[in-house]
Structure 1
């Protein structure tokens, strides 16, 4: 069998395999969260989200809105050095840095428990 024929068989098999993979994964809501930052933000977004009294008072001010909180939970950066993520604790404290729609840098402190996440504090940088 010549090289061209073997290569043609390989390409036919590759195309059929890609078709079946695309067919299987097209209907699923799959995410590829391989990095720790993406995992933490995805975990917090998928839980019931609550606001503490301190955070509610800050959200009542005009410089920040809940849209800014949602954007920070989508595109923010988790500062693991300042976060309290010891293994075995029932709740972990994450410090997330982001920006508002008015380009003001903010720092969110979020308490992440097993079944809910609570926004504890918002700090303007």
Structure 2
């Protein structure tokens, strides 16, 4: 068999394999969270969230609901320079995101089984 035919068979099988994988992985809700931001946000998203009274008041005053907070935890950015990741028990993260044309910053205390949202501020 010539080299050209071998390459053609290989590329044909490779293309069929890619199409099959595309259909299998399309049905699964798989995520590839390999970046630092993505891993932290996913870790916070899967935990039960607890809001402080101060945060609840700020949410009511600025017409922000828990769906907006969930959206920030999907599309937001973690500012590691404003975060404290050296703690042993509960690390604190500063997360920024945009909701309804408002830039929001949150300080979240990420513990083992719960994520406590301690501060919510509207940034300029």
Aligned twin of 2:81: 81
Question: What's the offset of the Cα at 1:107?
Answer: 0.9
> Structure 1 residues 19, 93: closer, same or farther in 2, change over 3 A?
same
Query: SS state of the match for residue 108, structure 2?
Result: strand
Question: Which residue is equivalent to 2:64?
Answer: 65
RMSD: 1.9
- Counterpart Cα distance in 2 of 1:25 and 1:68: 28
2:103 alignment counterpart: 105
Residue 82 of structure 2 aligns to a residue whose secondary structure is coil
DSSP 3-state at the match of 1:81: strand
TM-score of the superposed pair, with normalisation by structure 1 = 0.84
1:88-114 Cα distance to aligned partner (Å, 9 max, x none): x1211010111221x122210111111
Gaps of 5+ in 1: none
CA distance in 1, matches of 2:63, 2:117: 14
Misfit runs of 4+, over 2 Å: 15-29
Offset, 1:42: 1.2
Alpha-carbon deviations, 1:26-69, whole Å to 9, x = none? Answer: 443311111111111111111111101111121221x2312332
Q: Report the secondary structure of 2:86's partner residue.
A: coil
Higher strand share: 2
Give unpaired runs (5+ residues) of structure 2: none
* Structure 2 CA distance for aligned equivalents of residues 14 and 104 of structure 1: 46
Greater mean alpha carbon deviation, residues 19-28 or residues 40-49: 19-28
Aligned residues: 122
Please state if 1:91 is matched with 2:90. Answer: yes
